[in-house]
Amino acid sequence: MMIAFKRWLARGLFIFAVGGLLITAALQSAPVRAQEETPEAPKRLTTLTVDYTAYEWWLVRWRGNEITCRFIIDHDGLPISDEIQTWCGDALFTEWSRTQPCKLSTPGQSVQECPGMYLYFFESKPAKKQVEVELPLPSVWVSLAGCSIEPPGNRCVGTPNLVLIGEEPLPNEAIISIQGVYQGEPFTCSGNPCNLPLKPTGSEGAAIEFWAESSFGDSSQHYEGLIRVLPRGDFMSPEGASGDPPLYYIDVITDQWRGGPQASCSDTWQSFPETGGPEPWLTTPLNAADLYTEVSLYYLAAMLITNNQVDASNCPNGGLDDPLSANQCGLAAARDDVITWQNQFDEQILTVGRETGIPAQLLKNVFSRESQFWPGMYVNYKEAGLGQLTDQGAETVLLWNPDFFEQFCPLVLHQSRCDLGFGNLLTSEQAMLQGALVTKVNASCVDCPAGIDLTQAEFSVRVFAETMAANCEQTSRIINNTTSLLPGQAASYADLWRFTLVNYNAGAGCLTTAIKRTYLANLPLTWDNVSDRLEVACQGALDYVNDVSKVNSGVQPTPTSWVVFGTGPAPTGPIATLLATPQPTRTATQPSGPTATSLPGYPGYPGDLPTITPGGAPTTYP
């Protein structure tokens, strides 16, 4: 009786869930993951009896009106070929598909003399059928309790507990226990939530596995994570009790984290930031005011002067040294406007940094280096927006950030095409998506003040954050393909970001070659070792990384290196500063990149990461 009652509830929930699936979401922030092959998750299945209209069709021979096949479909309109072939078999389907229209040559001729077969609709009637449906599984979310997290470095004042919160989506069902393994020891909580005391782990962290058991009779999938707990202060001194409050540095890496911002790309790389917090250029501050800069941006000053936002008529040559750079007089005339302009995106940068996990300071530095905050388009280099996105950069985000692709693609192509994935689209469709994305981040606007659509520019901040996340994924695959290690096992957190910037600026070909050369030389993957092995054509990335890794980055913007695309040196002609919206008519060029396991339909599509248990045995503290 109870089982039947549960199934009745499950059926009711399914009807509600199907309705929810019809809602289409706009672009939203979501954690990004590379398209990987993961172990199949458990499924929660039930069988429903549903009402539908049955349409009966016959396949009939002209000669003698012989009914050769009767079949039922569940939709109005003509049957599709696959349905006829499935119900009637290959032989009858082939004969029917080759039948020509029946033509009578004389008035007295009968249609029964015609060869072949025809389709005949017989009737429609109400019917019932059994349908197996998949219901949502329970899940477990993770946060901290017993301490307040303080920046920098996730300082935890107090004794920390890991809180595992089970969530059961079915009504009248409940989480009956939360179980797992932490530091090699199993644990079980009979209630929900589960408070798990944390112990020091050592600098490499300790692995955790956890899941929830449901009263429905099944469990959630088994989740994995990595936890680092490092004590700080004298409170653990073996010489005696200390008056200092307990102080720890705590980092948690898991897809199920809901305890506040998590260091970006940590989950992708399985890498913790440096103890005490990441370097300043890899932080997201508490307030937008902490992103404030007063950098002398000569290119930005020139754009403001050229677009009549600053009056430099009293300066030599109208305040310009050349079309791309203000002179000292022009910079002085534009100073207040330059400062205002370079800080007007700070709130949006901070919001996007928090929502995506990409460091806000990194984003601001990249925008300063790439465009000096002028989000127009460079003609000669085909780069657009605050982060100067190219067609090839658009390909990276569409290929390596599947969550972003799934949200952006239906804005351009039909959903049925998007369901194939970027790598399985036609080359022309890929080019259309790339061009559309470059167009989307191009804030040039002939009718807007200063020739820039600021609303479009603010929207593009998220696109560039998603692009940087995609480069995290691609960098991860390059390192794994070369070393068979997770990135966090091969390099430090800060150096992984430096490698990602090389990938973003110079391309995957440059980074792959340098990583392989370093690995084959039996050297650790440090920034010094890898940067020393960049090819000559790729060494422009050195200055790029050095500039971006400063807190206040304010250097002359330089177009992204095209060495990865096999072209010559960058052109040096004048750059147009204001363009109409470009049309996505260019043919995509496949950049060189890491050797990857190919998937059907798209050579070089990212292969699968091996399943590697992160971390090692925890270090024992006294």
Q: Maximum Cα–Cα distance for the chain, whole Å? A: 116
Of the listed ranges 190-199, 211-220, 230-239, 392-401, the one predicted with least confidence? 230-239
Question: What pLDDT is attached to residue 37?
Answer: 53
pLDDT band, residue 244 (cuts 50/70/90): low
Angle between helices 454-483 and 427-441 in degrees, nearest 10 = 130
d(CA 552, CA 281): 9
pLDDT at 204: 86
Contact by Cβ (8 Å): 284, 354: yes
Least Cα distance to 63 among 108, 28, 109, 17 occurs for 109
Q: Which two tokens stand for residue 275?
A: 């103890």
Q: Which residue would you say has higher pLDDT here, 570 or 55?
A: 55
In a 13 Å sphere around the CA of 381, the CA atoms on its Cβ side amount to 29
- Listed in sequence order, the DSSP H helices in 180-261 are none
| pTM for the full predicted model | 0.69
Tell me phi and psi for residue 441, to 5 degrees.
Answer: -90, -10
Confidence band (pLDDT; 50, 70, 90) for 153? low
Min mean pLDDT across 312-326, 340-354, 443-457 is at 443-457
Confidence check: pLDDT of 12 > 60: no
What average pLDDT score do residues 206-231 get?
A: 93
Report the amino acid identity of residue 285. Answer: P
* CA 76 to chain centroid: 39
- What is the radius of gyration, based on Cα positions, of the chain? 31
Provide the pLDDT confidence category of residue 381 given band limits of 50, 70 and 90.
low
- Provide DSSP, 450-490: GGB-HHHHHHHHHHHHHHHHHHHHHHHHHHHHHHSS-HHHH
Those residues whose C-beta lies under 8 Å from the C-beta of residue 217, and which sit 6 or more positions away, are: none
pLDDT tens for each residue of 92-107:
999 999 999 888 878 8
**Residue 5 DSSP symbol:** H
Question: How far apart, in whole angstroms, are the C-alpha atoms of residue 269 and residue 169?
Answer: 31
38 confidence band (pLDDT: 50, 70, 90): low
pLDDT at 132 over 80: yes
Give me the pLDDT at residue 249, please: 85
Q: Buried b vs exposed e over 268-298: b needs ≥16 C-beta within 10 Å?
A: bbbbbbeeebbbebbbbbeebeebebebebb
Instruction: Tell me the DSSP string of 258-318.
Output: -SS---TTHHHHT-PPPTT---GGG---SSGGGG------HHHHHHHHHTTSS--TTSGGG
Among 102, 85, 101, 96, which residue's Cα sits nearest to residue 119?
96
Q: What is the amino acid identity at position 175? A: I
Element (H, E) at 166: strand 161-167
13: helix, strand or coil: helix
CB atoms closer than 10 angstroms to residue 249: 20
What's the rounded Cα separation, in Å, for the pair 606 and 404? Answer: 16
pLDDT at 241: 55
- Alpha-carbon span 347 to 458, nearest angstrom: 9
d(CA 504, CA 500): 6
Cβ-count burial 471-490 (b if 16+ within 10 Å, e if not): bbbbbbbbbbbbbebbbbbb
Check pLDDT > 70 for residue 242: no
| 101 upstream amide cis, omega within 30 of 0 | no
